[in-house]
A and B are shown apart, each in its own frame.
Chain A
Amino acid sequence: MNKLASLISGIMFGIGLVISEMVNPAKVLGFLDLFGNWDPSLAFVMIGALVVSSPLFHIIKKKEKPLLAEKFNYSNNKTINNQLILGSALFGAGWGLGGLCPGPAITSVALLNIYSLTFVASMFVGFYLVKSFNLSSPR
């Protein structure tokens, strides 16, 4: 059952990205083009997601355990350090260059666009490099 839950949340998340057009790098780059032709849509996606998730997180985490797993399992890392800033800055640079972040990039695999597939392959190389050099942020 929890396997089905993972699949269904992935599908819902992907459908949200398709409906909001966040799978389209042009929409994301429009949001980041604050000083040019600005498209505020991405902010509305985040607001929509937070309106639902934020209050429900606070209710659900008071439960003893999740419905289909033994225990809650999420990061409670509160560290604010150079690693956080440097990593976020590198991510922001890549996001601004390509207009893709991990969710939309993986969802766009279905569209079989050679440039987004190139991005995805290269992103996984990046994941692998960080893991092999042991630079991952602790949870």
Chain B
Amino acid sequence: MNIVNFTPIPAFTGGLIIGLAVVVFFLLNGRLVGISGIASNALTEKENKFDNLLFLLGLIIAPFIYSLFSKGEISISISNSYVLMIAAGLLVGIGTRISGGCTSGHGISGIGRFSLRSIIATITFMIVGILTVFIKNLL
């Protein structure tokens, strides 16, 4: 193992802001952030539809608001295979709804409440994620 590209300070700062976002949502609206649930329910459920859509809109406009205050460019480097991105999206969409949470719902909201269910979910998706990357790198 080599440690590369490690950016602890922006990572931790961004994490603090994410934590604050989750606290604001809980304190004001009484709900715990879980983005797979918010996104899926915005599509399929009537309850809280408008709130869910506004939360998603907030996520989408966040990069624009960030650009107003910072000159830093937002760069992404992503696979250029449509087949791979379609498979990945389907697995993420199906998996998170079957298990009832993703990195935010289980990883932050759940672990933050010391939920054993969420701790097990998080360990599982991390281990499988690490194995998937390991296998992908062998091919």
List residues of A whose CB falls within 8 A of some B CB: 1-3, 5-27, 29-30, 32-54, 56-58, 60-61, 65-75, 77-80, 83-103, 105-111, 113, 115-116, 118-131, 135-139
What is the interface residue range for chain B against chain A? 35 or more
A15 contacts B62, C-beta separation under 8 Å: yes
A103 contacts B6, C-beta separation under 8 Å: no
A12 contacts B17, C-beta separation under 8 Å: yes
B residues near A86, Cβ cutoff 8 Å: 95, 98-99
- B100 to chain A: closest residue by CB: A137
B residues near A102, Cβ cutoff 8 Å: 35-36, 39, 92, 96, 102-104
A residues near B120, Cβ cutoff 8 Å: 80, 84-85, 88
B residues near A36, Cβ cutoff 8 Å: 1-2, 133-134, 137
Per DSSP, chain A at the interface is: helix
C-alpha spacing A10/B62, complex, angstroms: 8
B10 contacts A19, C-beta separation under 8 Å: yes
25 contacts between A and B (CB under 8 A): A6-B55, A10-B58, A14-B61, A16-B14, A20-B15, A32-B126, A32-B132, A42-B11, A45-B18, A49-B16, A50-B15, A50-B112, A53-B108, A65-B30, A66-B27, A87-B98, A92-B129, A97-B88, A102-B36, A110-B62, A119-B85, A122-B88, A127-B96, A128-B43, A129-B90
A13 contacts B93, C-beta separation under 8 Å: no
The 9 closest A-B pairs by CB, nearest first: A126-B93, A10-B58, A48-B15, A14-B62, A20-B14, A87-B99, A96-B132, A122-B89, A94-B91
